Structures are given as C-alpha cells and as structure tokens.
Chains A and B, each alone.
Chain A
Amino acid sequence: MFAGLSDISISQDIPVEGEITIPMRSRIREFDSSTLNESVQNTIMRDLKAVGKKFMHVLYPRKSNTLLRDWDLWGPLILCVTLALMLQRGSVDSEKDGGPQFAEVFVIVWFGAVTITLNSKLLGGNISFFQSLCVLGYCILPLTVAMLVCRLVLLAEPGPINFMVRLFVVIVMFAWSIVASTAFLADSQPPNRKALAVYPVFLFYFVISWMILTFTPQ
C-alpha cells in the first residue's frame, strides 16, 4: 500500500543553510576581522612600532607588564646579526673569512637564551617561552652599542688607555643589560628563587661581554 511512497525522491539541490550568531563572541570576532582584513601597510607599521617601543624600553628600563604581552623576535634577530657581523676577524670578503665565528656567536646567543628560559621555567616562573627569549634578546642592545664603541676605539692606536676605555664601556653596558633584563624577568619568579633565576642571565651577558672585550681585528 505504501509502495508508491518509495518512488518519491528527495531532491538534493535544495540547500539548507542559515547563520547562527552567538553574541558573547562578538568582541573577539571584531578583533579578528580587524587584523584579518587590515591593509599591508598597517601590518608593517604596527610591527615596526612594536619593535621600536621595545628598544625604547630597553634604553630606559622600567617595570612594565604590558611590554611583555606582545613579544616579537625581530629585535633579537637584528641585534644578533649585527653583533655577529661586528665580531668578525679579518675582512668579510676574504677566502678565510670568519665563517665559524659568525655561526658561533649566533649559536651562543640563541642557545644561551633558550637555556636561560628553560631554567626559569623549571624554577617555576610564570613567563612564557617566547616572552623570555624576547626580553633576553632585546637586552643585548646595550652590549651591541658597546661593541660598536669598541670597534671605533680600536681604530685608534693600541695601548693600556685603549684597553681601559673599552673595559669601562663594556662594564657599563653589561650592567645596563643586567638591570634591563632583571627589571622584566625577576618579577615572574617566586621571591625566594629570584637569585637562582637571575644568575644565568648574569653568566649569559658575561660571556657576550667577554667576547666583545677580547675582540681584536687581526
């Protein structure tokens, strides 16, 4: 009796669609569409301003939590490449150029920063991995300035005065780096662990300062 009903075919051409909007997510959605559809120039300017702001914060260290929110690794990359280029022995275009030294500086900086980050995370700090890398990388800025000054001073004639000037500059910039980085990093540690978290930072910047101080362009 109902055999005829089986011949009625359901057409598959009729689409069934609609939209369900959930009001509580609307704030996040506005933020999404603003960065998804912004122009390329806006993106570039936004990132450049963020990098510039962080450089200013390193030069004038203040305790600030908002700085760490937008981490980026552009500053550390630029500083690392600049430092590695300046730490070359010999000329850049020769056959026996300082290839291994370039890679060595790179490896020391990045491997050292990763080790310090792991150390602070293992000690129970509530800072994220990339934030810590960002802070450590940006605080190399004073030491890069020290390297620049040392290279300029080395153009003059060598002697004990030369060495004293370089030593003074490197010590001042080393202290500046330590102050800048601990202003950001120490707060993220529990109070009885602050020294344990800070001493690897001290060691890291000490190694870089030593490389800068003992540099001689032969």
Chain B
Amino acid sequence: MLMRKIYQKDLKRQETQDSNDDIEDVSLFDAEEETTSRPKKSKIRHPVASFFHLFFRVSAIIVYLLCELFSSSFIACMVTIILLLSCDFWAVKNVTGRLMVGLRWWNHIDEDGKSHWVFESRKASPQDSKTVSEAESRIFWLGLIACPVLWVIFAFSALFSFRVKWLAVVIMGVVLQGANLYGYIRCKVGSRKDLTSMATSYLGKQFLRQTTGDDQTS
C-alpha cells in the first residue's frame, strides 16, 4: 500500500512535470540555451591568425597554378612558392594551431639523444577566453585538409604530364602540408585521452538510456 501511494504520487509528479516541461520548452527555450555549460561561440576571435592561416596556403597554390601567366621565369616562381610554403608551415605549426584550436606538436630530444614527438592540446578550462570557437575551428580544419589534397593532385598531374621540373616544388608542398596535417590529427586524437575509454563511456551512456527508455515505454 505504501508503494502504491508513492507510485501514484510519482505518477502525478511526472504528469505535472511533463506538462511543465511542455510549457518550459516553449517559453524558456532561450534561457535554457544561455545556461549550457560550454557555449561554443561562432565568432572569430583571431581574425589575423585565421587570415594568415589561409593566405599562405592559398597563395602558394595560386602562384603554382598561375605562374606560367605571370612570369616567364621559372626560378622566381619556384622561389616564391618555396618561401610561401615555408612561411605557411611555420605559421600553421607554431601560431595558428595554438591560437585557433589550442593544439600544438613538436619534437623534443632528451639527454640520451632519442627524439620524442610531443602532441599537446589545451585542456578545456572553465575560463571563457580560452574556449575554441566553432567558426575558427571550421576554418582551421578546412584549410588544413583541403590544401594537402590539392598538392597531392598536383603531384600526380605533374608526374603524368611529364612536367618534372615542378615535381621538386610539388613534393615539398605535399611533405610540408602533409606533416602539419598529420601532426594536428594526432594532437586531436590524443587529446581525447583514450579513444577506447571514450567509446566505452559513450556506449555505456547509450545503453543506460536505452534500458531506462525501454522501461518507461513498456
């Protein structure tokens, strides 16, 4: 009998809660969004870094494609592309990565002469100024992934159309931009502490939701 009373009270509470939730969903929608724990801003916090992240990569590709039109000197084009690729490599590795997405990778040699590759990511702190904005993250990853793919396509086209003199520059482009891509992907994957533990926690939550959901509907 006691159980039955509790059951009825709970049922009533749930009904009122459901009706309240309905009302809450309609009126307090905006308030709920403001109180989420990690707001992902969609404005760009570092416009200069975002600009330079894309500027060097895109201009290297543009110079490579349009060099025949602009200048009859192969050497000037080659030196320009090499300089742009080097500046891009340094900027993306040292500056834009840590400003835009809070990731960094480098090589560290210890006293024994062994080299270690260190991949670090900024842990999510409760301070507002250091969260990653979604727009910047999208710009960063888009630029990081699209350009090496383009350089690989250029490499194949240079190889098959027998324009071998460009091959050195194109291979340099593939290597430098591919290295940045690989480094940042490893930073990103490593920052989730462990893929397996994340996967098990996610599956566990899903499983719990499934079982309680099944019990509610039955």
Q: Which residues of A come within 8 Å of B, CB atoms?
A: 1-4, 6-10, 12, 15, 32, 35-37, 40, 43, 47, 68-71, 74, 77, 81, 85, 88, 92-95, 97-100, 102-103, 106-107, 126-131, 188
Minimal beta-carbon separation of A215 from chain B (angstroms):
16
**Stretch of B69-77, B143-151, B153-161 lying at the A interface:** B69-77
Question: Within 8 Å CB of A92, what residues of B?
Answer: 73, 75-76
Q: Which residue of A lies closest to B118 (CB)?
A: A32
Q: Complex formed: what's the CA distance from A98 to B79 in Å? A: 13
23 contacts between A and B (CB under 8 A): A4-B4, A4-B6, A7-B10, A7-B14, A7-B216, A8-B10, A9-B14, A10-B208, A36-B104, A36-B122, A40-B95, A40-B99, A47-B90, A74-B86, A92-B76, A99-B74, A103-B78, A103-B165, A126-B113, A128-B109, A128-B114, A131-B113, A188-B113
Minimal beta-carbon separation of B115 from chain A (angstroms):
4
Q: Complex formed: what's the CA distance from A100 to B120 in Å? A: 41
Q: Is there an interface contact between B7 and A7, defined as CB atoms closer than 8 Å?
A: yes
Question: Within 8 Å CB of A40, what residues of B?
Answer: 95, 99
Minimal beta-carbon separation of B60 from chain A (angstroms):
15
Question: Within 8 Å CB of A85, what residues of B?
Answer: 75, 79
Which of A1, A35, A128 is the one whose CB lies under 8 Å from B115?
A: A128
Total A-B Cβ pairs within 8 A: 94
Most buried by B among A77, A98, A103, A128: A103
A-contact 0/1 string along B95-123, CB 8 Å cutoff: 10011001010110100111100001010
Question: Within 8 Å CB of A70, what residues of B?
Answer: 109
Given A9-B216, A81-B82, A106-B168, A32 contacting B120 (CB threshold 8 A) = yes
Cβ of B66 under 8 Å from chain A: no
Q: Is there an interface contact between B212 and A10, defined as CB atoms closer than 8 Å?
A: yes
Instruction: Tell me if B's interface is mostly helix, strand, loop or mixed.
Output: helix
Cβ of B203 under 8 Å from chain A: no
Q: Is there an interface contact between B86 and A77, defined as CB atoms closer than 8 Å?
A: yes
Given contacts A32-B120, A36-B122, 18 further A-B contacts (CB under 8 A): A4-B6, A7-B11, A35-B104, A36-B98, A37-B98, A40-B99, A43-B94, A71-B109, A77-B82, A77-B86, A81-B82, A92-B73, A99-B78, A100-B165, A103-B78, A103-B165, A128-B114, A188-B113
Minimal beta-carbon separation of A34 from chain B (angstroms):
11
A-contact 0/1 string along B128-148, CB 8 Å cutoff: 000000000000000000000
Cβ of B41 under 8 Å from chain A: no
Given A43-B95, A93-B72, A100-B165, A4 contacting B10 (CB threshold 8 A) = yes
Q: Complex formed: what's the CA distance from A160 to B72 in Å? A: 37
Q: Which residue of B lies closest to A188 (CB)?
A: B113
Minimal beta-carbon separation of B109 from chain A (angstroms):
5
A-contact 0/1 string along B148-192, CB 8 Å cutoff: 000000000000000001001000000000000000000000000
Question: Within 8 Å CB of B94, what residues of A?
Answer: 43, 47
Q: Which residue of A lies closest to B91 (CB)?
A: A40
Q: Complex formed: what's the CA distance from A40 to B95 in Å? A: 6
Q: Which residue of B lies closest to A17 (CB)?
A: B37
Q: Complex formed: what's the CA distance from A93 to B77 in Å? A: 11
Q: Complex formed: what's the CA distance from A131 to B107 in Å? A: 11
Which of B74, B98, B109, B216 is the one whose CB lies under 8 Å from A131?
A: B109
Q: Which residue of A lies closest to B205 (CB)?
A: A12
Q: Complex formed: what's the CA distance from A62 to B177 in Å? A: 35
Q: Which residue of A lies closest to B130 (CB)?
A: A37
Minimal beta-carbon separation of A8 from chain B (angstroms):
7
Q: Is there an interface contact between B113 and A81, defined as CB atoms closer than 8 Å?
A: no
Q: Which residue of B lies closest to A102 (CB)?
A: B75
Q: Is there an interface contact between A88 and B72, defined as CB atoms closer than 8 Å?
A: no
Question: Within 8 Å CB of B75, what residues of A?
Answer: 85, 88, 92, 97-99, 102
Q: Complex formed: what's the CA distance from A6 to B212 in Å? A: 8
